[in-house]
Chain A
Amino acid sequence: MASIQDSAPDAAHVAPAVSTPALMRLALVATGLVVAFGVVPAYATDYWLSSIIIPTIVMGLAGISLNLLQGYAGLVSLGSAAFMSVGVFSAYNLILRAPDLPLPGVFVLAGLIAAAVGVVFGLPALRIKGFYLAASTLGAQFFFQWLFTNYPWFSNNSQSLTISAPRLEFLGYDLQSPHGRYLLVVSVTALLIGLAFLVVRSRLGREWMAIRDMETAASVLGIRVARRKLEAYAVSSFFLGITGVLWGFAYLGTADAHTYNLDKSFQILFIVLIGGTATIFGNFLGAAFIVLTPIVLDHLVLASNVAYLSDQGAITNLQRVIFGAIIIFILIKEPDGLSAWIRRGVEAIRGRLAS
């Protein structure tokens, strides 16, 4: 941030109050908001909104959540989907049991409950690292799937153990239509992206990265390593909790414990690996890849019209093989993830502006 409160003598020879990068950043944010709130809702069809844009944005948000933990704080988790399920079941029960609570309150409280759960399941990080820590976070995955299938109280004693999205409205606006759900998703996402930037550019974010890069040096400098690690699980799980609510209520419409299974956790991990670690916007590239590739493969298979592919099982297996191959190809070609594209693009634009 360019500081306006610089002391007077400095301000005299620092000519523009707002620097060029700050102006560029402002322009980018403005463009992003116009596209997100103006262009997309005006032109996108219901099919595009419901089946492609909403899931891509929500999965991108899930990627951001895990990236805060993994890319910035250097910790690991294979239980991301579990924290999403804590979010959605919390939100469902909050709406059910405290009907007067406005929607933003529901989101924040659901996030906070997920954050508290995240701290508990982050405790092993104080003792173990890497692969062993990853394995211990699987505990969250299995525990919550068990909890939500065995205690029907969480789904209001529904026979199917499934919860359905409540009527979504805010300040009298009905958010049930694809456009309404899109606006809900994109508003929450914009706020959380802003929050993510605040976090990674604070002392907290810096200390996370210090711990990630060299934990011994971090502790020797007086960084409170244990507390920072738990805070990383809290912040990441707060984001995941809210993401879970969006996935259940704004995308699927219904949810149960199996919606948020280990497959989902791995998808989120792939988003981070494909999108790139320690990036915010890269996660949306990763999410777009995860959401779009199966759809594109579907269309290709249908178009190719090969006889033996009439077997649905063969098609699904073939898709998985191709999908996996593409992931491996990307990870070899772009080990820093697709966010390297963004970085190169920005540098190219900057270079052209400078010349």
Chain B
Amino acid sequence: MAALLELHDVSLSFRGVTAIDALSFSVEQGSICALIGPNGAGKSSLLNVINGVYRADSGDIVFDGVRFEAIRPGKAARLGIGRTFQHNALFRRLSVRENVLAGLSRLGQASFIETIFRVGRDAAERRTFAARADRVIAFLGLEAHRDRIVSTLPYGVQKRVDLARALVSEPKLLLLDEPMAGMNQDEKAEMSRIISEVNRTFGTTIVLIEHDVGIVLGLARHIVVLDYGRKVADGAPDQVRDDPEVIAAYLGTVH
């Protein structure tokens, strides 16, 4: 299968401190790829480079046939890269539905005047946006919370809203930054089920960061292990699990 995302020798440093060191790997179309590694290994920074929140010092990225060295977050979104956040980044004073609708912004066609005065393309847009938002809300089991203000919802539900907001515009690539952080085992299993269902139903390619190795081994088809910004291992779960370097760098340590 063809690669949807390829990274070539990507490096990133903050004031001389290396976060990512000449990293290369590729993610196949339609797969679930997990990034694992100790805290500070450069996993979140890597997601931030892929969708343009950070700018890499060197190297380039090929996404869906488009090569770029640096990209703006909005451009990445319009190319079809969706993203959830490690720390709560919801629009906290908006309802669940409004958060999900905001996730469709990259598809908005109606102009400033059309959207204010509800003329032209706005009517069709409101209809399709509402239908798509409701579908994703139902898919993620958020109907009961639809009109609640997100800051009033429990943490686990907020994580699902974040996923809904990223998923609703049906990106080709979905970057999930610790989607199960802070969850108990039941919630993790549920989220894991949802992620593989998203992958199956929408054919979305997923790159996710997760610390729980048990979950990762069950969920991902492809694992990339990072340590100090370098790639330690890259391959199928079975391969990675038995790699002595991985055991030394990551699995052997306590988290």
| Residues of A in contact with B (beta carbons under 8 Å apart) | 195, 198-199, 202-204, 206-207, 209-210, 212-214, 216-225, 231, 278
Contacts and interface: CB of A to CB of B under 8 A. Distances in A.
B250 interface: no
A225 B74 contact: yes
B115 A209 contact: no
**SS of B interface (majority):** helix
Contacts of A206: 94, 98, 101-102
B228 interface: no
A216 B89 contact: yes
A220 B102 contact: no
Contact-residue bracket for chain B: 35 or more
Interface in B103-125: 103, 105-108, 110, 112, 115-118, 122, 125
Contacts of A195: 116
B63 to A, nearest CB: 15
B138 to A, nearest CB: 14
Closest 5 CB pairs of A and B: A222-B106, A222-B77, A213-B91, A217-B89, A202-B115
A45 B116 CA distance: 38
Nearest to B109: A203
B90 interface: yes
Nearest to B162: A217
Contacts of A223: 74, 102, 105-106
B53 A213 contact: no
Contact of A203 (B90, B110, B117): B110
B125 to A, nearest CB: 7
Contacts of B129: 203
B108 A203 contact: yes
B77 to A, nearest CB: 3
A198 B27 CA distance: 44
Interface string B226-250: 0000000000000000000000000
Contacts of A222: 73-74, 77-78, 105-107, 169
7 contacts: A195-B116, A198-B118, A202-B118, A203-B122, A203-B125, A207-B102, A222-B77
Contacts of B135: none
Nearest to A227: B112
B146 interface: no
B51 interface: yes
Contacts of B106: 221-223
B51 A220 contact: yes
B67 interface: no
A209 B74 contact: no
Nearest to B77: A222
Given A221-B105, A223-B74, A203 B115 contact: yes
Contacts of A213: 90-94
B25 interface: no
Contacts of B125: 203
Of listed B89, B102, B118, residue having the most chain A CB within 10 A: B102
B53 A220 contact: yes
A59 B117 CA distance: 25
A217 B91 CA distance: 8
A9 B198 CA distance: 28
B90 A217 contact: yes
A217 B92 CA distance: 11
B165 A209 contact: no
Nearest to B89: A217
Given A203-B115, A217-B89, A220-B51, A210 B105 contact: yes
A327 to B, nearest CB: 24
A154 B20 CA distance: 59
A203 B105 contact: yes
A221 B101 contact: no
A202 B101 contact: no
Of listed A209, A210, A218, A278, residue having the most chain B CB within 10 A: A210
